[in-house]
Amino acid sequence: MAENTSENIKLLKKGKRKKTDKAKKTVRLLGHAKQLLLLLSEHSKLPYDPQELGVIIGREDLTFTSSEAITTCLSNLDNLKLCEITDEKDKPFYKITAKGKAIAKELQQQEELRIPDGEVKKAMSLKQLGDILGLTVKHDEVNKMITFLSTLTAYTKDSQFNISYRAPSSTGKSYIPIEISALFPDEDTILIAYCSPTAFFHDIGEWDDERKIITISLERKILVFLDQPHDELLRRLRPLLSHDKKRLLLKITDRRERHGIRTKNVEIVGFPSVIFCTGGLKVKDQEATRMIILSPETSQEKIREAVYLKAERVGNAPKFIEWLDSNPKRLLLMERIRAIKEEKIDDVIIPNLKKVTDEFIERCKILKPRHARDIGRFFGLIKGIALLNLWKRKKKGSNIVASEKDVNDAFGLWDKIAECQELGIPPYVYNLYKEVIVSAFEEQNKDLKAEDWRGLSRRDIMAKHYAVYGRMLEDWRLRQEILPSLGMAGLIMEEPDPDDKRRKLIFPISLSPKADRQKTLSQ
């Protein structure tokens, strides 16, 4: 009993609540244990005699049903060494121990920080959400908002959507997911620094001896891969990322067996929200159509504020942690997330479905097969925004109905990322195209007629990149990742250099009406 109560007190301190009948009794016992411990802390000692104790309990207006419940709770506190029985003038008393005082103090502090339900369930706009996320994530307004909504949709049945952060090192591609996931309960987040394709199935899964199968439960979980060098694991998780089926059977080979290679069965249950961070800039179509592709901002303003934030975080870590952990807005959001989780919402119903779909299609220049998946991710944004304010939305059983404002807010976010999703390239690569390649091409050919335009060499691009960003661009990255991605997106074309046939010159194909370059180049 002592061990169970100890675990119960831990659960109480962390604020966890479960809905089973057994758990409800446990919570009631936790409440009594907590009340008695706080009462002991206030009085230092309590009489051992049940009648005298009952008088004090009644005066304090505590919610006990019987003297037996009081005695049981005190006995459990005694077993946990939170109180002890002492004699004073041949009369026994319950007296709080040093350990009990420490836990009581912790509980009192939690009570002071506890946020009333009315505050938790108040309407919250995306701007207010962005301000709270901005405590630790500077700028990157769209990125942090979409990342938060992705993690929040983990608390639905199958409305989760996935994100892929792609950018070079030191740009903060894993920082945003780490900071956002820190707001969610630890038991719901799985952060993996690196994982080989097969290790994921061996280490994350649990062996079911009866069925002879490895089971991996990812239902209502947030799965974050912090720095993967390649996309091999993503390829193996394609059916999971596209939500093909709630229970997926995979067959893997195990080389550790004594008698050579052996096949093992792996069953993945449920759909997680997956965030995949990598330094690789080349995205294959199979992955691009299953995830929202994002890149962190690299503007001077963002970097400047990030430097100041890092200075505060490292220069005086205890003060920063104390400030962050006691910030009322951040605590409010964390409590709100827990409350959303406890509502156990299955799905979000989108009203005026045809109207919303027509508006989405109108934004597409030419319909492509990928749009059938893109609309699912767009609906994921709507559902995440609706979940944030579920108490203000119409409820139908275990589902809620999104509002028109949720739809408009989702369109506002989608419009800012739609172009890169349409092209299937990371925003980092697209910004490099506009700020480096197009800019260098225009500077080089500003005084020439269209028929005399000359393309850019890789050396020209690297020199312009250094002038714009103040850092060198690796030749292998430009040659193997950036130029092939831009070529597949239809943003550039390569032609042999008339002066040196061994080299190729890059011509940007502008999507703006400044010049009809594509027509001229094709001629």
DSSP 429-479: HHHHIIIIIIHHHHHHHTTS-GGG---B-HHHHHHHHHHHHSSPPPHHHII
| DSSP code, position 380 | H
**Residue 359 exposure: Cα atoms within 13 Å on the Cβ side:** 15
- Out of 119-123, 125-129, 426-430, least confident range: 119-123
- Run of H or E residues at 394: strand 394-396
Please give the Cα distance from 417 to 296 (Å, whole number).
Answer: 12
CA nearest to 387, candidates 421, 410, 356: 410
Return the pLDDT at 193: 83
CA nearest to 128, candidates 296, 406, 333, 320: 333
Q: Does 432 have pLDDT greater than 50? A: yes
Return the pLDDT at 19: 38
Please give the Cα distance from 225 to 236 (Å, whole number).
Answer: 14
Please give the Cα distance from 399 to 410 (Å, whole number).
Answer: 19
* Phi, psi (deg, nearest 5) at residue 219: -65, 130
The structure's pTM equals 0.75
Q: Hey, what are 181's tokens?
A: 């996931």
92-105 residue pLDDT tens: 777 878 887 888 77
Task: Report the chain's mean pLDDT, rounded to a whole number.
Answer: 82
Please give the Cα distance from 398 to 386 (Å, whole number).
Answer: 14
- Out of 95-109, 355-369, 379-393, least confident range: 95-109
| Residue whose entry in the numeric block shows the structure tokens 């991996």 | 216
Q: Hey, what are 455's tokens?
A: 């393309």
Per the CB < 8 A criterion, the answer to whether 94 and 46 are in contact is yes
More confident residue, 71 or 84: 84
Per the CB < 8 A criterion, the answer to whether 230 and 280 are in contact is yes
